[in-house]
Amino acid sequence: MEPILGTERYERLTELRAAVRRYEERYGKLEGMVDLTKARSAMKSRQRRYDQLVEEFDRVRRQKESMESEIDRIEQWIEFCLESIIEKAKEDHAEGWSPTAVLGYRLWAVGKDGLHGVKMRWPGPVLEATCLSRGGDSEIPHTDGRCGRLGCGVYASKTVEPLYREFDVSRIGDVALGLVALTGKVVEHDDGYRGAVATVVALGASLGDRLLLTSDSKCIEAVFEQPAPWIVKERRVETETERLLEMEAFVTSEARRAGQWTLETNSE
């Protein structure tokens, strides 16, 4: 039997009952005992009901814990199924959220007001993709064809050579070649990637016969804001071919260094 009023009150009542019995042994029946008897009877009936409720509560608690365990197992199974569906979709559409940045190459035209990509002037060394068809959302770059054949996202090439060939750098004039880190959702293609966010981590930029090669983030940011003051103070490189080769050698070496650093970090 579990005391309803707690151990301290139960012990106090036990002491008082023992004291009443001693007084009855000493003086005979005491006044007020009829009411006390009724109270004790009412107490016993409620104590029995209380004990029944405790048993029911224990039974319900065990059922509750069992049900919680079943719900947890079902939720784990649902989580596994949903993750499997998502991974299958990513695999089918060559899509992935990489735990490390995906590296690629970009080419810009160097203008007086900054560096210009194919469609726009970059506002800085970090560019977040938007979709001209559907605006911005968490699914950029899209993979369901809603954007047309090419699709949205910030593009980057797996190698430098296709960039030089496709954009005819001799016709563009002053150019910048950069190593970019793609983060967020990244979609892989045969020759390159489309990413949600691109950050320039190494840059080679030419202006006239001057050549700037840097991986300093502050310098890269300054070049995107106003290229001329930063490039013209760099060393001279006589021919366009030499400048392009040096830019390519620099950004590809930075890519190898970044890749090696990532491998070493992941192996620790």
| 10-residue stretch averages of pLDDT, the chain, 268 residues long | 64 84 82 70 84 90 90 83 72 59 93 90 92 66 70 90 84 91 87 91 95 94 95 94 94 85 41
Q: How far apart are CA 94 and CA 142, in angstroms?
A: 11
pLDDT for position 151: 79
Q: Which helix (DSSP H) or strand (DSSP E) does residue 130 occupy?
A: none
C-alpha torsion angle, residues 186, 187, 188, 192 (rounded to 10): -80
Among candidate residues 169, 166, 156, the one with its CA nearest the CA of residue 247 = 169
Buried b (16+ CB within 10 A) or exposed e, 199-222: bbbbbbbbbeebbbbbbeeeebee
pLDDT for position 4: 58
pLDDT for position 263: 36
Quote the Cα angle for 52-58-61, to 5°.
Answer: 140
Q: How far apart are CA 256 and CA 249, in angstroms?
A: 11
pTM of the model: 0.62
> Which DSSP string corresponds to 171-208?
HH-SEEEEEEEEEEEEEE-SSEEEEEEEEEEEEEEEET
pLDDT for position 136: 52
Among candidate residues 160, 181, 249, 255, the one with its CA nearest the CA of residue 211 = 249
Q: Which residues contact 26 (CB under 8 A, 6 or more apart)?
A: none
Q: Which helix (DSSP H) or strand (DSSP E) does residue 163 occupy?
A: helix 161-167
DSSP state of 214: E
Tokens 């005979």 belong to residue:
28
Buried b (16+ CB within 10 A) or exposed e, 166-182: eeebeeeebbbbbbbbb
pLDDT for position 8: 79
Q: How far apart are CA 194 and CA 52, in angstroms?
A: 67
